[in-house]
Amino acid sequence: MDSLTHIVLGASIGELVAGKQAGKKILLIGAVANSLPDIDFVASFFLPLTADLLAHRGFTHSLPFIVLAAPLLAWLSGKLFRGSGVTFGRWAFFWSLQLFVHIFIDAFNAYGTAWFEPFSHYRVSFNSMFVADPLFTIWPLTAAIALAIIRASHKKRTTIAMVALTCSAVYLATGVLFKTRIDKQAHKSLHQNGITPQLYFSTPTPLNNLLWYMVAKSDSGFYIGYRSVLDKRDNTSFRYVCQNNYLLNNAANQADIKRLVRFSQGFYTAELRHDSLVFNDLRFGEIAGWTDSVPQCVFYYYPQLPGANELVVQRGRFAKWDGAALKAFIRRIRGI
């Protein structure tokens, strides 16, 4: 999830776990605690970009990291905040919960979270929430602001934190239910068209959980479609995109290609754009794909032009978004 979400979630959880003992400072400690796994950003200063893609949400987002880090951080917290009245056991629970919530929430996005590093490179991806969703974040954000303003002795502080976290949890569960419904209909449409996918995933489009992006892999390419929870038609339309895997065989840096293929979890295509080789990771969606008949992927990497790959994950997320595109997006969410 985005940094703001982790900060306000951490503050709300901190209040719930140790607010009565530690006072308002637990809001700040909680914000730091829930953000801690993202310390892996420092890898970007030392690693090639393709290696950094795999390092992010790697070991610091794993269950073994929590087991190792939580007791140490609990001991350190006890030393730093000796007069807070928080016991070692409560500090240990606080840090374990904060770190686990971080990696748990991250797993609902398409990026993939390495819960089992270093024992397994498998990445957990539930694909049921966009990386930034205001309807998930608004509740702990409101709570964090309220908790920072009202007095530390206010009787409703725990209730405020609990209500906020419950609302976010309900929204998270709603996304899972929507995904189940979307996937059921998608597989029905694929079957009716004689398509048996080798791989399949669906994930929400930006900032909502109503309009979904679906990808089904065949022998030589992918079928891509969009469906809103509010769609009235039974059938879902899919368009075919060729994988063009052969284009990657002659790439100069095969180590980069191998890392990109592993990172994409098999959902990738290759193309030539203005005579330059492009690697597309389909998991991150398309730029206005619900309106453009030949959309460009959000994540695209130039294997032969390493200097042209700054902010490779973020650069296409909101490209081409203007007033007209936003209106079209809202219309598509409303269903067809």
Kindly report, residue by residue over 125-153, the tens digit of the pLDDT. Answer: 999 999 999 999 999 999 999 999 999 99
More reliable by pLDDT, 319 or 187: 187
Domain residues for 285? 193-334
pLDDT band at 262 (very low <50, low <70, confident <90, very high): very high
Question: What pLDDT is attached to residue 184?
Answer: 96
Tell me: do 10 and 144 sit in the same domain.
yes
Question: What pLDDT is attached to residue 159?
Answer: 97
Question: What pLDDT is attached to residue 84?
Answer: 85
On the question of pLDDT at 295 being above 90, the answer is no
Tell me: do 150 and 203 sit in the same domain.
no
pLDDT band at 257 (very low <50, low <70, confident <90, very high): very high
Task: Answer whether residue 182 is part of any domain.
Answer: no
Task: Answer whether residue 186 is part of any domain.
Answer: no
Give the containing element (helix H, strand E) for 300. strand 297-301
**pTM of structure:** 0.94
Tell me: do 40 and 154 sit in the same domain.
yes
Tell me: do 168 and 198 sit in the same domain.
no
On the question of pLDDT at 293 being above 80, the answer is no
- Overall average pLDDT of the 62-78 stretch: 98
The share of the chain scoring above pLDDT 90, in percent, equals 84
| Burial profile 311-333: b = 16 or more Cβ within 10 angstroms, e = fewer | ebbeebbeeeeeeebeeebeebb
Tell me: do 137 and 205 sit in the same domain.
no
Tell me: do 156 and 256 sit in the same domain.
no
Task: Answer whether residue 185 is part of any domain.
Answer: no
Task: Answer whether residue 217 is part of any domain.
Answer: yes
Task: Answer whether residue 146 is part of any domain.
Answer: yes
- Whether the CB-CB separation of 113 and 107 falls below 8 Å is answered with yes
- Whether the CB-CB separation of 176 and 126 falls below 8 Å is answered with yes
Give 76's contacts (C-beta < 8 A, 6+ positions apart).
none
Tell me: do 243 and 118 sit in the same domain.
no
Tell me: do 162 and 242 sit in the same domain.
no
Question: What pLDDT is attached to residue 44?
Answer: 84
Question: How many domains in the chain?
Answer: 2
pLDDT band at 310 (very low <50, low <70, confident <90, very high): confident
Location of structure tokens 């400690």 = 29
Quote the distance between the C-alpha of residue 184 and its chain's center.
22
Tell me: do 250 and 298 sit in the same domain.
yes
Tell me: do 103 and 251 sit in the same domain.
no
Taking all residues of the chain, what is their mean pLDDT, rounded to a whole number?
Answer: 94
Task: Answer whether residue 132 is part of any domain.
Answer: yes
- Whether the CB-CB separation of 49 and 308 falls below 8 Å is answered with no
On the question of pLDDT at 314 being above 90, the answer is no
pLDDT band at 179 (very low <50, low <70, confident <90, very high): very high
The share of the chain scoring above pLDDT 70, in percent, equals 100
Tell me: do 157 and 250 sit in the same domain.
no
Tell me: do 208 and 321 sit in the same domain.
yes
